[in-house]
Amino acid sequence: MADDTWHHAPDHLLTALMESPHESLILVDAESRIRFISQSAAEFYQVDPQQTLGRHIHQVNPNSRLPEVLKTGKAEVGSMLRMAGKERIIARIPLRDEQDRIVGAFAKLVFWRLDRVRDLVRQTEVLEKKVSYYEKELRNLYSSRYDLQLVVGESPPIQQARKVATQAAQSDLGLLITGETGTGKDLFAHAVHRLGPRHDKPIVKVNCGAIPRELFESELFGYQAGAFTGASQRGKPGKFELANGGTIFLDEVGELPLAMQVKLLRVIQEQEVERLGGTKPLKLSFQVIAATNRDLAAMMRAGQFRQDLFYRLNIFHLRTPALREIRADIPRLAYHILSGLRTGKRPVPARISPEVMHLLGSHDWPGNVRELKNVLERAAAIAGSGALLTEHLPPDFVETAPKSEAAPTAPRSLRAEMASAERRTIEQALKYTGGNRTQAAELLGIHRTGLHQKIKKYGLR
């Protein structure tokens, strides 16, 4: 049986509590008559505690708001009280009985030194500035870095990619970006986010090929405190939670294990996520952009990628063309990359020689735009402010370039070509007959006199 002494505090403890200078209490009944005033409160009001009992609170403090608190039933916390040249921060709290009737109210001290309040305000302001700073840093970390203006080129494949990007941004539906490595899938994903209605919210990138399989679920969906051995005691939000209101960018989505594809599909369909070790789903809102350089259709046929997830991701399909497919855009891309290198004091070439441009246009570019940028950055560092010449390119790049065909010569006139052919034919006939002009004339179907004239004309022996 429980000890009742734990439910009823001894009188000397209650007295000590009510007389504590840190509490400084004054208690009134439902008619605003003073029923208790602590010694420290009486000193503040400069009254005798015994003589104030039973008196209306306004007789002690004409400006007291305790009657107002009794009337409204609403507490007032953090109010300023000035009296006899002293200032304090107090709280006024109504008291209710078991039937929820207001039976009284009390006022108690919150702060008795305003310099402490000012210190607290300053600390609060510092904390608010820190929170604001970290929120800004978080927005910068997960903000979009690119827009469609950075997509360089006017070839039909590039124009088609821009068109799909604009449509996907306006629709807020799923977008699948496919293309070889280095073709700008990341650029298009950020551009779609910036162009859409969620542009002021975060875009959170998940590299599905870099997360260890055993950490997929905790990284994508987060976990509760103590969900597993080594888990943070505060828990951790997953990538989908961080992307709430914005965009989740699933890069290299073709690397997702089949087990995770099932859970990912549910999260995308339901727009809600449940932390690892949690019991309550969190309702979210996000747009999904996925990207891969793998053939998802072939993976589906091989049973490596789920059809239902593919159709959920592939509502809009944007294909980033390989650089060898848009050779007409290479000059624009090359000069765009060079202009992007002019960010510091290092000199950068202002012109690319025709020979170099020919090599750039004839290369197959297995690494696509990323490889082009690598080649130009190296060449620009060597060339300085002069023109970009062949000698500035990497030796292996020049050596593996396809050899250009010899420059074509201007054609001769038809009369000259016919005379040359006639001369060669007569030479062959004379050689075949051993110099016998009669036999040669018969072979050629002309008179011997005509053959003699042509031998003389062409200076033949």
pLDDT of residue 267: 93
pLDDT of residue 233: 63
HSE, CB side, 13 Å, CA atoms: give it for residue 195.
22
pLDDT computed for residue 316 by the predictor: 96
Q: Give dist(CA 118, CA 193) in Å, integer.
A: 44
- The reported pLDDT for the residue numbered 144 is 53
Looking at residue 48, its pLDDT comes to 87
Residue 409: the pLDDT is 53
Whole-angstrom Cα Rg for the chain: 44
CATH class of the domain whose range is 415-458: mainly alpha
- DSSP secondary structure code for residue 388 in this structure: B
Q: Which pLDDT score is estimated for 31?
A: 93
Select 15-115's CATH number: 1.10.10.10, 3.30.450.20, 3.40.50.800, 3.40.50.720: 3.30.450.20
Q: How far apart are CA 93 and CA 101, in angstroms?
A: 14
**Cβ–Cβ < 8 Å for 293, 181:** yes
Contact 333, 373 (CB under 8 A): no
First to last CA, the chain: 142
Q: Which CATH architecture has domain 148-319?
A: 3-Layer(aba) Sandwich (3.40)
- Describe the strand order of the beta sheet including 175-178 as a list of residue ranges: 203-207, 247-251, 287-292, 175-178, 316-319
> Residue 240 has which token pair?
């989908």
* Eight-state DSSP code of residue 213: G
Task: Name the residue ranges covered by the structural domains of the chain.
Answer: 15-115, 148-319, 327-399, 415-458
For residues 220 and 273, give the distance between their C-alpha atoms in angstroms, rounded to a whole number.
9
Q: Which fold has domain 327-399?
A: Helicase, Ruva Protein; domain 3 (1.10.8)
Q: What pLDDT is attached to residue 251?
A: 94
Q: Are 325 and 281 in contact (CB under 8 A)?
A: no
Low-confidence ranges of the chain (pLDDT < 70): 1-11, 21-22, 83-86, 111-147, 226-233, 402-412, 461
pLDDT for 2 equals 47
Contact partners, residue 403, CB within 8 Å, separation at least 6: none
Cut 0.75: pTM above it: no
